[in-house]
Structure 1
Amino acid sequence: DHISLFALSVCCLLSAAAERFIKDKGYTNCVHLPCWPHLFAKVPEAVFDAGVLTEQAEFHRLVQLLFARSPFWRTKWYRYQKAAVKKWKDVHEQLPDELKQRHEKERPAPVKSVVRPTDTRWASQFDAYKYWRGRISAFKKFLSEMLQDLSDPPPTAQALLALLTDAVRLTALKVQIAFTCESMQPIYDLILSFQKQTGGPADPLGALNDIKSAQAEVTRGKFPPGVQKLLSACPAPQAAAQSKVLQQAATVMSSKVDNLHAATGSHSD
């Protein structure tokens, strides 16, 4: 009879349980104090779930199918990365000093196993997308060589290579991955801040507003630097099309912030 506040995660099942507890048990004055990191994670997840970034979503789906079902492909990709890094280092060591700086721009991404998302970590899907930034070109070459060597390559690998050899879709994929990395990293930084001794931002609702302000810049056509660089290199029609896609993604994130604010604002004290 004296319960007035309880803290609980905001996953769909627990949120439903909280609502039922408050309504069915008659605790109408009881407040459900949400898990702030979980709330923040729902902002980028709204974009992932909406499928607005179509090329990124399709690439992610195919990659997960290819690597989840076969250790053969995971092993081959890991070894390919190791060989590429070794080859780059061997060449780099032989170059005269005046050419090393230019060659440095061709340095492969660090060797790392492919990241696969899980349902038990907030940032796992984001990390799975972020993994591919800087690895797309190498992965395209890897697939091309593998499909030449295999007599019966899997349809998933063929579909991936088809996506990556389509110049328009490849550019869209790179733009969308850059947007995901640069627009969503600050949100995951906020989530990680809750794990520190400081306990996250003093004003979580204010932090949500900051996220919305950043997305408002995107909806007005002001993109993060890495994204803008890629868009500037696109033909005008494709740049315009991708700008529209990114603005839609930013709108989804802003709307999710509004929803969360409405759901938690009255309990912010």
Structure 2
Amino acid sequence: MEKLLAVAKTIIPSPMLELCWLAQRRNAINFAEGFPDFSAPSPIKKSAVSAINSDFNQYRTQHFPCNDIAICCGQTEAFESAIFATIDPGDEVILFDPSYETYDGCITLAGGSSKGQRAVLVALDPPHWSLDPQKLITSCTSKTKAMAVNSPQNPTGKVFTRAELEIIAKVRCTSDLLAITDEVYEHLTFDAEKHISLASLPGMQKRTIITSSLSKTYSWRIGSAIAASHFASAITNFHIRITDSAPAPFKEAALTALRCPSEHYETLRADYKSKRDYMLKLLGGLGFQIEHKPQGSFF
């Protein structure tokens, strides 16, 4: 007898995984998934090995002096826990379209909806994926609870400008909305582009939950959610129920990563920028018209 939850029947397999399987079967290059093509730096791996050899195999306490951070198993779990901690059934959550497909699935699982549909989509205007303020304003209703912002963005490579972020902040403050950001690509910006965290704008720190991970910068899957203590505490509670804890050796390695010199990010940016420029030249030579040069991330 089938006893699946109704919402479980609406969650489709990840398109990224399907493309990954297709690429493997065809021995093709996979552009679908956002994973680095480099190994984790040696000091990080050595730190994990040392932790294992030192028998750091017990639960690592979540009770530490900084009470506005929740440590998770990756950005996706941090985002999902943030959604579960804040979204009630029927609440509306705004996504900027196109967006990372996992966001919509998390919102659906939490019961977030709009007129029976899933997340509320605010389309960004091509070719540069600009934000139209009027589209955002008219998408807000009395049921709107939150917006999710990813910058630099997957899949467009867009970096939201300060002016665009100020518009988002103004709408959120006016409508008393929550912001859930995905900032995993914050160190991967190119040319003159700079990452600006929405939480850094006036009035936004207490309204913003920042989710991130070390996977894109260090090839190490440890994530976090940074927010006001009542949000961080609730996210930690969901994290504990979902996975209990991130592996202790991974946490020790993550600490080593965060202590690495900042030159690592400069090398990373230069490497990805050269790959971006190579691909733009290659595609241009094949006759593709590239109207939007990615400003960040590796998409």
TM-score where L is the length of structure 2: 0.26
Larger relative contact order, structure 1 or 2 (CA cutoff 8 Å, min sep 6)? 2
More helix by share: 1
More strand by share: 2
TM-score where L is the length of structure 1: 0.28
